[in-house]
Chains A and B, each alone.
Chain A
Amino acid sequence: MKKITILTLITSLFVSTISIADEVNVFNARHYKADGELYSKFTNMTGIKVNLINGKSGALEKRIIEEGADSSADLYITADAGRCGAMDAKGHLQSGLTSAAIKSAVPKSFRTSKWVGIAKRARIIYYSPERVTGAELSGMSYEGLADPKWKGRLVIRKSSNIYNKSLVASLIENNGKKATAEWAKGVVANMARDSKGNDRAQIMAVAAGEADIAVANTYYLALMLSGKKGAEQQEAAKKVKAFFPNQNDRGTHMNVSCAALVKGAPNKANAVKLVEFLLTPQSQEHFTNNTFEFPMIDGVSPSPLVVNNLGLDFKQDMKTKLASYGKNQAAALETMTAAGWK
């Protein structure tokens, strides 16, 4: 009896390595409850089991890299185009996301053959209507964040944050590295405090009067307004207004959650099916209503919370290729660090 128990224990050590036939392995860095529900729907529809390994993107990427050609990963799903781009640059992705369904759903600048955007977000400016006038904001752009008139009035999170890296990468793409380095110095000089906390903390700092303007992603305000974060944050969110920068030129900086096809994926066909599923109107609606992102495809409208409070009729930057976020990522970090951006 004892021996059997021991034997079972030892064999169970290896069980996890045996794989089942019809499945897709997802390295997942998006941890919204809503995503899990979508994966279950996919399994119910197709019979394909979705295996998840959740983690922070960095750790997941490293595991894919170290496992190399033997990696069990099929899809890598994460919340920034910069990350998908960086994985591509390192040669860990493969072509294959080229089906007609994908191509017709996603605009060209938001996909490559190796990774595609599955939901959009904009990185925008939040301001206190009590302390910031319309005149001050008029024609405001990301470039304008370095304007000395914002001295001591701006909050933005750390330079190590991927959303900031992608934003700065897009500025490097449009304005060049030298101009962006000057810009970063101006931004650091304008900060109301050393960078700390997440995007939501920046919005709350404006609500609480610690700063007048903040840079953060669109879905955070909707999340706070939804009441999912409690009544206090709902109140706080009402003290802040959203502003979409660069409306007079290239448009507001857009980013995506992306799904990338991993090199050597053992279940490539299933991975493509899952991506196509995530781009169906049904899945897109699920995203917009639960994570408050913008839909990737036409014909689905964002959550009413987003539409009513942020507005929709803003000009999105459709020109800057999202692939440049990955390409310029290292330069972006270097630029910010050199400027003393914590």
Chain B
Amino acid sequence: MKFNSWYISSFLISFIVLIPIITVFTSFFENTSNYYEILKNTFLIEYISNSFILLISVLFFTFLIGTGTAYLVSFYKFPGSEFFKWALILSFAVPPYIYAYSLTAFFENYGTAFTILKNLFGDGNYNKNIPKFDGMFGAILSISFSLYAYVYILVRASFLYQPQNLIDLGKNLGFSKFKSFYKIILPAARPAIVAGLSLVAMETLAEFGAVDFFSINTLTTGIYNSWITFDDLAFANRVSFFLLLFIFSLFILENLSRRKAKYHFNSKGGFKQKEKIRISGSEAYLAFIFCFLIFFISFLFPLSQMLYWTLKFPENLFDLPIINLILNTLYLVILSSFVLIIFSLISNYGNRVSSNKTLNVLSTLSISGYAIPGVICAIAFITFIAWFDNSIIKSLGFNSIKKIFIGSILGLVLVYFVRFYSLAFNGIKSGYEKINISVDESAYLLGYSKRKTFMNIHIPFLRNSLLFIVILISLEIIRELPITLILRPFNFETFATTAYISASEDLLEAAAVPSLFLILIASLFIIITSKYILRENNE
């Protein structure tokens, strides 16, 4: 019974997820073509330094915004604080590349800002006085305002679980609000901050759309470009290797701090709802202004820019096959959620009934896919299939399998699987952790079979987690760009690819309509899930 189907399925899952990593590492020692050697070295330095600048700046901004807003809404009551609590996560609905389109549309020469000034003050050359948010700074802003919610959500959760006496301590010591925050509250939330920031860091390094739009060469766009410009898969994989080194250290950091964060949360048995301090006067005003500004800049601004363009150029609305795009998106979402959830259930259940070390290691390995940028997943997948087809399938005399995997829904779903498996796996794992193992034992005593225990007891218990996971996966797939772009079949578009393609052809106003729909659909999903993300008591 030990070496049973659990092993086989866990091995299978880990193997699929590890394909990109194995492909990248085996190509590292391959010779790259010498032709551009000097050029490539210049580029490599540029890629690394740009990635570094981007990373540090985004971490700085997301830390500031994320912890700032989390602190205000968790400790204080002020006008709108209940609203901001969930409204601040709406920024998740705006992927960095759509934020980048909005920034450009608004601030470019003769852009929306110019129109507003002209309507207010009449004709004039305002272009020189309108700040330009493009290039590196534009990319930093786009990513920061889209991703700060990671920090916000995790830090807010950790603030909520901070014991009351810790906060009272500051008061007793006569600390000012700022000093309490700085000396007591912030250090206590450190694991959550690190966890949030490492998620931000991984996403920043993996970011493709916005960075590509502003033509910044980072390691990730560098991989894509070297693959394309230099025709050099080996060099692309070598750049990937550097990127993965970066990412794995973050991944390890994140896992470590998550473990610590957990320890913090659970150590204090009973949880008591903290009393929020009501603030008034100028303090309340400032708190409101800060939260509103963040909400406005991160969500209302891109939303209204896209809406404005949709209304200004309505012909694009009628050209967009909306029903078709919604169906395509649903199709991908349903298929991927189905596959992801089935395999995560199998693997989690396997871990539970066998509680075996090797299985545990395998499942830890298989959640690493989330740390690998979509571009790399997609490229590595194509490389792997091409290699597998040429050296194994064809030598056995079979027909090529490339068409089955490249440019097919199957291939697309497989790579989504690699990328998002950790989302599904971790979600179900945390659901399972709430079902005490004694529940299983009681069920067996009552004569339930393993299958019946699973179907009649586990599944109903997990229902909420499953719903939450489906929505998270949907959100990711709706916004996903590079994998879909590279691997999708003929005549198959999503809102994300439609927006990206229009934008890359300098048809930003045509990109506005799909972007708007993407934001609206994603917001809907976020509003549905907000009660899970923001729950304030231990369910």
Binding site for B on A (CB under 8 A): 9, 12-17, 25, 30-33, 51-56, 58-59, 61-63, 65-68, 70, 72, 90, 158, 160, 194, 196-201, 204-205, 207-210, 220, 228-230, 232-233, 235-236, 330, 333-334, 337
Query: From DSSP, what is the main secondary structure of chain A's interface residues?
Result: helix
Q: How far is the CB of A275 from chain B (nearest CB, A)?
A: 19
Contacting pair A337 B42 (CB below 8 A):
yes
Contacting pair A66 B506 (CB below 8 A):
no
Closest chain B residue, CB of each to CB of A158: B215
CB contacts (< 8 Å) of A90 on chain B: these are 231
CB contacts (< 8 Å) of A16 on chain B: these are 407-410, 489-490, 492
Q: What would 21 A/B residue contacts be, using CB atoms closer than 8 Å? A: A9-B334, A9-B338, A12-B409, A14-B404, A16-B409, A16-B410, A16-B490, A17-B404, A33-B319, A55-B485, A55-B486, A62-B382, A160-B225, A160-B229, A196-B214, A199-B506, A208-B110, A210-B128, A230-B509, A236-B109, A334-B39
Closest chain B residue, CB of each to CB of A37: B319
Contacts between chains A and B (CB distance < 8 A), count? 147
Contacting pair A51 B491 (CB below 8 A):
yes
In the bound assembly, the distance between CA atoms of A51 and B492 in angstroms comes to 10
Q: Is B35 an interface residue (CB 8 A)?
A: yes
Query: From DSSP, what is the main secondary structure of chain B's interface residues?
Result: helix
Given A9-B335, A53-B488, A196-B134, CB of A337 within 8 Å of CB of B403: no
CB contacts (< 8 Å) of B317 on chain A: these are none
Which of A17, A31, A198, A334 is within 8 Å of B501, CB to CB? Answer: A31
CB contacts (< 8 Å) of B35 on chain A: these are 330
Q: Is B157 an interface residue (CB 8 A)?
A: no
CB contacts (< 8 Å) of B382 on chain A: these are 62-63, 66
Q: Chain B: interface residue count, which band? A: 35 or more
In the bound assembly, the distance between CA atoms of A284 and B108 in angstroms comes to 33
Contacting pair A13 B489 (CB below 8 A):
no
Contact flags B292-324 to A (C-beta < 8 A → 1, else 0): 000000000000000000001100000100000
Which of A53, A70, A232 is within 8 Å of B115, CB to CB? Answer: A232
Contacting pair B501 A70 (CB below 8 A):
no
Given A196-B215, A204-B110, A236-B110, CB of A209 within 8 Å of CB of B225: no
Given A55-B486, A72-B403, 20 more pairs with CB closer than 8 A = A13-B409, A31-B501, A51-B490, A51-B491, A53-B492, A56-B504, A58-B224, A59-B486, A63-B406, A65-B231, A66-B386, A66-B402, A70-B403, A196-B214, A208-B127, A209-B127, A330-B35, A334-B39, A337-B39, A337-B42
Given A33-B319, A208-B127, CB of A59 within 8 Å of CB of B485: yes
Q: How far is the CB of B110 from chain A (nearest CB, A)?
A: 4
Q: How far is the CB of B141 from chain A (nearest CB, A)?
A: 15
Which of A14, A58, A68, A208 is within 8 Å of B386, CB to CB? Answer: A68
CB contacts (< 8 Å) of B215 on chain A: these are 158, 160, 196
Contact flags B224-244 to A (C-beta < 8 A → 1, else 0): 110111010000000000000
In the bound assembly, the distance between CA atoms of A236 and B114 in angstroms comes to 11
CB contacts (< 8 Å) of B110 on chain A: these are 204, 207-208, 232-233, 235-236
Q: Is B449 an interface residue (CB 8 A)?
A: no
Q: How far is the CB of B335 from chain A (nearest CB, A)?
A: 6
In the bound assembly, the distance between CA atoms of A39 and B488 in angstroms comes to 20
Closest chain B residue, CB of each to CB of A56: B504
Q: How far is the CB of A334 from chain B (nearest CB, A)?
A: 6
Contacting pair A197 B489 (CB below 8 A):
no
Contacting pair A204 B109 (CB below 8 A):
yes
Q: Is B202 an interface residue (CB 8 A)?
A: no
CB contacts (< 8 Å) of A72 on chain B: these are 403, 407, 490
* Interface-centre pick from A14, A67, A207 (highest chain B CB count, 10 A): A67
Contacting pair A31 B486 (CB below 8 A):
no
Closest chain B residue, CB of each to CB of A203: B109
Contacting pair B501 A56 (CB below 8 A):
yes
Q: How far is the CB of A199 from chain B (nearest CB, A)?
A: 7
Q: Is B413 an interface residue (CB 8 A)?
A: yes
Q: Is B135 an interface residue (CB 8 A)?
A: yes
Contact flags B40-73 to A (C-beta < 8 A → 1, else 0): 0010000000000000000000000000000000
In the bound assembly, the distance between CA atoms of A194 and B132 in angstroms comes to 13
Given A53-B491, A63-B486, A337-B42, CB of A205 within 8 Å of CB of B406: no
CB contacts (< 8 Å) of A62 on chain B: these are 227-228, 382, 486
Q: Is B497 an interface residue (CB 8 A)?
A: yes
CB contacts (< 8 Å) of A12 on chain B: these are 335, 409
Contacting pair A198 B506 (CB below 8 A):
yes
Given A13-B409, A31-B501, A160-B225, CB of A200 within 8 Å of CB of B491: no
